[in-house]
Each structure stands twice: as structure tokens, then as C-alpha cells.
Structure 1
Amino acid sequence: MDIFKTIKPLIYKTDPEFAHNAVETIFKTARRCPLFFNSLTKRNFIDNPILNQKIWDLEFKNPVGVAAGFDKNATMVSAWPALGFGWGEIGAVTPLPQPGNEKPRSWRHVEYEAIQNAFGFNNEGVEVIKKRLSKIYPFILPIAANIGKNKTTPEDKAIEDYKILVKELKDVVDFFVINISSPNTPNLRNLLNEEFINNIFNELKPLTKKPILIKFSPDMEDADIVNLANISVEAGADGIIATNTTINYDIINSPIKRGGISGKPLAKRSFEVLRIIASEIFGKVPIISVGGIDSAEEAYKRIRMGASLLQIYTAIIYKGPGIVRKINKGLIELLKKDGFNHISEATGIDIPKKIKG
């Protein structure tokens, strides 16, 4: 019997942020309850050679990672394997602690299997998070840090925030994700421009040998995506993540006119942005796809369109904690069905040849 299906109606009666905090309370005890979490890991964690990849000289046992926002303060990293994840992203982290936007700031759209959030980079700040990570790093899975500027930091000083974060976290994470695409920090998306992208990579690359990626918004014009994808690679990006949440409120009925939407309604646009980016830079740097992935079929579609790695978050809320295992097991079946011996053989196979060259 699926316990999650039984308790899901009860969960949906609670405030989304309260429910998330309750989950965090459970999972941040992982290190203190090894027998319980070891049994979950044995059930949920898929480690199969067909899914194993070495990317940026890091070992990924499976491609499904936990997206930023789930583990903002790196309190649940020890539980990631128990949920089945092959890697994960903490944050967004800012230099100084900040409470985020006023509540309520998270809403479910159950009929759409969507979540809307306006959190605003609420986190405990880099000092606390660094100390927490130092107790578990190096971890058995790759850890990425999603980094963002503080709300009060002006645009012309933003790069200084990112420099602080890389300097402080470079010894306790495996790679970085520059977040200038969240809709929940005022004017942050203004930084998604050619000048800033060139400047930030020029400033950050000398600070660490760890890979530095950039995360794109789904709300950019297609031409801007093409331009900024190429500029990012030329500037030194080690990868691109597509996409963040959307402020296209037309994709659901009766949205709250605040924050960004994630989940199933974002899948179409997220896939389209992936296709645009892969058509431009596939083979130059790895691409990570996130947004509306909730099944093995959708995950496989993203892989075939050029994604080397995947991330999920909203799917956990609507499909339950076993979704990662289901996606990974399904990916193995789909790869074998199509005659592939390894995930890399399928990656990018659906990019139009006339574009891929």
C-alpha cells in the first residue's frame, strides 16, 4: 500500500511552507537514524552502470538530482540517498542571512500539479551553511551550491556577493550554480545580460577550480536564450541549467500574482528552452534540465534532447518520495528498450541533425 497516497489529502490541508518545514525536520535527522535511512537508501537509491556518469570529473550514480529550494540550508543532505537522488543542489545561499519575503509565500495548485512560490532566497547565510557542510563534506554524492545576491545588495555590487559565496563555499561543495534567474528577488533577472555574464565569470573563475554553472529563466525570449547560451559558454560557464520557475501566470487559472510557478505546467516551456540551448551548445558543456519532470518518460525525453543530468522538486510533492526511484528504474527500462547500453548513448540523440551538425 502506498502510504503517501493515504496521507496526501492530509498534507494538502496544511500550509505548503509548514508542510515543507515538517519534512525538513524529519529528514535532517538522517545522520542520527542510520538504520531507518539505510533501509530507505537500499530501497530507493538506484546505482546501475547504465546510469553511472562521470561529469566534471565527478561521479554521478544516477542523473536525478534534487533541485535548489528543497534543501535551502543544507540540513537534509544526509537524507538525499534515502530519497534516491544521485546528486543535489543546496540553496539558494546568500552572503548574509535573510528571512525572505513576507508570508504567505507558497501556494499549491493541486489540479495542475504545480507549486507557486515567492520565498525570496530565505536562508541562514553562508557562514552557517558553510559550517554545516564542513561536517559532511566530502559527501557520497556530488553537492552543488546555488548562489544568489542578498536582496539589499544593489545591482552594481552584485558580483561582490557571488565572489564572497564562491570563496566561502569552494572547499565544501563540488560545483556552483549562479542564480540570476529567480523571479523572487527584485531586479535580479536584470542581471541576465551579456555584460554581467561576461563580468561574473571573469571574476569567479580565478577563485576556484570547481565547475561554475549558470541557471536560465524560462521567460526569456528565444533569441536571448540563444545569445546568452553562447555568451555563457564563451565566458567560461561549465554548464547551463534550464530552467528556473516562470512568471507566465497564464499557464494556470487563478494564479497568485507573486513569485514563480513550478511543476507540470512548466514542462512544455522548460523542454522548449532545453531544445533551444541544446541546439546551440550541445557537446560544448553539459546541460541540466529541470521543470515539470515527474516521470521516467519525461526524464527520458529531456535526456534525448541533450540533458546530461536532471532535477526535480515539485514532483516529490505530488508523486511522493518514491518518485526518484521510479524515474531511475524507468530510465533503465527505456534505455534498454531502445538498445542503449549507457545513458550517454541516448543523450542528445533527438537534437535535429541539421542543427546539431
Structure 2
Amino acid sequence: MDYERLKPLLFRLDPETAHHMVAGLLGCAQRFTPLFSLIPGLEEPVRDERLSQELMGLRFDNPVGLAAGFDKNGELIGAMARLGFGFTEVGTVTPRPQPGNPRPRIWRHVKEEALQNAMGFNNDGAEALGKRLKKARPYPIPVGVNIGKNKITPEEKALEDYAACIDTLADLADYLVVNISSPNTPGLRDLQNEAFIAELFAMIKEKTDKPVLLKIAPDMSEASAVTLCVKAVEVGAAGIIATNTSIDYSLVAHPVDRGGISGRPIREKSFAIFEAIAKELFGRALLVSVGGIDSGYEAYRRIKAGASLVQVYTGLIYRGPGLPTLIDRTLLHLLEKDGFSHISEAVGVDRR
């Protein structure tokens, strides 16, 4: 059975239940690799030096990564490598375990090929993640750790939560991502201001020399996003991830009244913010684009706009486990078509 035939069956299930089923299968296959042959739509990953890059002192075999949120607790790193991802990002993790928001907390908008989630940073906590990461080393692909604050932590003490995550996890992460852009933790997006960013990265510099990226929301004005990201780079951010989910509920026909929208409807909003940032910061910081990427053509558009790396999540739900390999194959075709011998020649070509 291919994924397109399986998808209607999966989509009859509650989205969170379906996710746990898929994650369970991937976890079993990670322990007993012949089970990967049973996963519909999965193909052998692309291995081609034309897609490899050295970034942040790390080797990325290809530029396609899994965005944070799918593997919150670092349980599927080996499986993501087998799916063909060039890197993966675990979390968002908080210092203390928390259950997240009440269910239901994730919804599909099937016609729009979107998800809407109000998960609320449900995770096992930094200590539990650290133990899993230790067992998973050496990692088959680069692993980023996306960190956030606990829901019960007041805004004025948010810095302490980020510091606690760094103390526990920095040595186990290939890179870190500061998440101040989820719409599902009250007050979190209020931290998207220059004063907090300066204070945050001053603290980070004292604690780790690992590369740290800032992930921003797509709902800021382009000018505000650029100002914030420039400030972040000036005070020590190694790069920017743009963007998180959107609270623009006009993007789908039948939204619920909470959570953030991801997938195809945020594609242009995410691209517009990313391009504005890239016009200012390309060549000065690592740029990662995420939001509505579900094909090699869209990934290539982001790469030409200045993204060294791209990430997917919702596209994986709608396109299936073969998506990373499909994107890689399309990228190779487009590189050849445009006369590029290596992906680095295409990165930011629209900015030059």
C-alpha cells in the first residue's frame, strides 16, 4: 500500500492518535530495521555530495530537516535519518515536564493541507530528554534541541527556564534553538523584543559556545521581524529560523479559536517574512526556512532566497514519509537544470 491509499485511513483517526501510531511504528522500526520496509511510501534516502554542506561546524548530508514538534522527546532520531532527513530538531523541551493543553489540541484542515495545533509544549522535560540523547549518541545526523519555557513560569522569570535547558542540554545538542514564537504558551510571543533578546543571548554566551538560533513567528510585521533578527545576530545568534505557526485564522475556512496554523496556507506569509530577513542577513547568519514547504520546488525557492537549510513538518503528514527523498531528488534535478554543480551555488542566488 502506498501512502496516498493509507492516508484516508489515518485521517479517520484523531490527529494526535494518528501521530502516536506513526511514531510508535517508526520507533519499532528504529529498533528492528526490517520494519522500515513496511512503511508505505518510504524509499532509500538520496546520498549525493552535491547536496552536502558544512554549516556551524557540522556536516549536513542534505538540506532537508524535520522541524521541532514532531519528535518532542528525542525518541526518533535514528528513524528520521532513515527517512532521509539531513538533520532533525527535537523539542520544544521545557525545564520541567508538562502535559500541555487539554485534548483535543490538534486539528486537520484537509482541503487546505494544513494543521492547527494548540499542543502547549507537552514534553517529558529537559532531564528525560538529556538521558535519551546520551543513549542516541553518536547521532546519525545533526540534532538540534529546541528550548522553551514552562507554562507556569512567569514572563519575568523566563530567562531562568532557558538557562536551565541550556545547562542540561547544551553539551548534548549539535545546535540549540530558542523558541519564543509558539502561540500556545501564554505570554511567550511577548518575549519577541530586543531587550529580552539582548539579555537572553548575553546569558547564552556565558553558558555555551554551541551555535544558537532564534525561531520567530510569521505574524510580526516584516520590519519588526527584521529589526528583531538583526538584533539577535548582533548579540550572538548564529542564525534565524523563520517561521513558526501562524495565528492568522483567516488562512483556513473553518479554524478553531486557539493554536497555530501550519502547512500550505502559511506558505506565502512565511516566505515573505523569510525573504525580508534574508535581504538583510544573508551572508551574515545561517538562515533556515520553514512553513508550508511540501515539495522540492518550494524548498528550492527558499534556498535561492537565502536558506542554507529548510525544514518540514505538516508536509510530511500530507505527503508521507517519502517527502525528504522526493525533495532531495527534485533539488538535484533543479540544480542540474540551472547549471549548478553544488547546492551552495544555489543558496542565496536571488540575493546576489
Smaller-chain TM-score range?
A: over 0.9
* Partner Cα separation in structure 2 for residue 35 and residue 307 of structure 1: 35
For 1:11, the equivalent position in structure 2 comes to 10
Listed as ranges, the matches of 1:179-258 within 5 Å are 179-258=179-258
For 1:159, the equivalent position in structure 2 comes to 159
Whether 1:276 and 2:276 are equivalent positions in the alignment is yes
Q: Which residue identity is paired with 1:310?
A: V
Q: Which residue identity is paired with 2:268?
A: K
The verdict on how the C-alpha distance between 1:318 and 1:151 changes in structure 2, with shifts beyond 3 A counting, is same
Q: CA deviation at 1:43?
A: 3.4
Contact 1:182/1:188, CA 8 A, preserved across alignment: yes
* Partner Cα separation in structure 2 for residue 143 and residue 62 of structure 1: 14
For 2:23, the equivalent position in structure 1 comes to 24
Q: CA deviation at 1:32?
A: 1.9
The verdict on how the C-alpha distance between 1:273 and 1:22 changes in structure 2, with shifts beyond 3 A counting, is same
Q: Which residue identity is paired with 2:129?
A: I
Q: Normalised by the size of structure 2, how large is the TM-score? A: 0.97
Q: CA deviation at 1:38?
A: 8.4
Contact 1:138/1:172, CA 8 A, preserved across alignment: no
* Partner Cα separation in structure 1 for residue 38 and residue 58 of structure 2: 26
For 1:115, the equivalent position in structure 2 comes to 115
Q: Which residue identity is paired with 1:20?
A: H
Q: Normalised by the size of structure 1, how large is the TM-score? A: 0.96
* Partner Cα separation in structure 2 for residue 58 and residue 164 of structure 1: 25
* Partner Cα separation in structure 1 for residue 66 and residue 240 of structure 2: 16
Is the partner of 2:13 in helix, strand or coil?
coil
Q: Which residue identity is paired with 1:171?
A: D
Q: CA deviation at 1:136?
A: 1.1
* Partner Cα separation in structure 2 for residue 228 and residue 310 of structure 1: 21
Write out per-residue CA displacement over residues 39-71 of structure 1, whole angstroms, 9 at most, x where no aligned residue: 989933222111000000100000000000000
Q: CA deviation at 1:158?
A: 0.5
Is the partner of 1:45 in helix, strand or coil?
coil
* Partner Cα separation in structure 2 for residue 310 and residue 19 of structure 1: 25
Q: Which residue identity is paired with 2:160?
A: E
* Partner Cα separation in structure 2 for residue 35 and residue 317 of structure 1: 22
Q: CA deviation at 1:3?
A: 1.6
Contact 2:240/2:287, CA 8 A, preserved across alignment: yes
Contact 2:43/2:322, CA 8 A, preserved across alignment: no
Write out per-residue CA displacement over residues 233-271 of structure 1, whole angstroms, 9 at most, x where no aligned residue: 101000000000000001111100110000000100111
Aligned length: 351
Listed as ranges, the matches of 1:311-350 within 5 Å are 311-350=311-350
Q: CA deviation at 1:82?
A: 1.7
Q: Which residue identity is paired with 1:119?
A: M
Q: CA deviation at 1:36?
A: 3.5
The verdict on how the C-alpha distance between 1:119 and 1:39 changes in structure 2, with shifts beyond 3 A counting, is closer
Q: CA deviation at 1:28?
A: 1.5
Write out per-residue CA displacement over residues 78-124 of structure 1, whole angstroms, 9 at most, x where no aligned residue: 10122110100000000000000011000000000000000000000
* Partner Cα separation in structure 2 for residue 31 and residue 67 of structure 1: 19
Write out per-residue CA displacement over residues 184-223 of structure 1, whole angstroms, 9 at most, x where no aligned residue: 0001000000000000000012211210000010000111
Listed as ranges, the matches of 1:12-161 within 5 Å are 12-37=11-36, 43-161=43-161
Structure 2, unpaired ranges of 5+:
none
For 1:293, the equivalent position in structure 2 comes to 293
Q: CA deviation at 1:138?
A: 2.5
Contact 1:46/1:61, CA 8 A, preserved across alignment: no
Contact 1:177/1:215, CA 8 A, preserved across alignment: yes
Contact 1:202/1:235, CA 8 A, preserved across alignment: yes
Is the partner of 1:111 in helix, strand or coil?
coil
The verdict on how the C-alpha distance between 1:318 and 1:43 changes in structure 2, with shifts beyond 3 A counting, is closer
Is the partner of 2:183 in helix, strand or coil?
coil
Contact 2:56/2:211, CA 8 A, preserved across alignment: yes
Contact 1:137/1:173, CA 8 A, preserved across alignment: no
Contact 2:29/2:36, CA 8 A, preserved across alignment: yes
Is the partner of 2:171 in helix, strand or coil?
coil
Contact 2:30/2:76, CA 8 A, preserved across alignment: no
Q: CA deviation at 1:37?
A: 3.9
Is the partner of 2:7 in helix, strand or coil?
helix
Contact 2:42/2:322, CA 8 A, preserved across alignment: no
RMSD: 1.5
* Partner Cα separation in structure 2 for residue 66 and residue 39 of structure 1: 21
Structure 1, unpaired ranges of 5+:
none
Contact 1:108/1:115, CA 8 A, preserved across alignment: yes
Q: Which residue identity is paired with 1:29?
A: C
Contact 1:30/1:78, CA 8 A, preserved across alignment: no
* Partner Cα separation in structure 2 for residue 146 and residue 232 of structure 1: 16
Overall identity of the aligned pairs, in %: 51
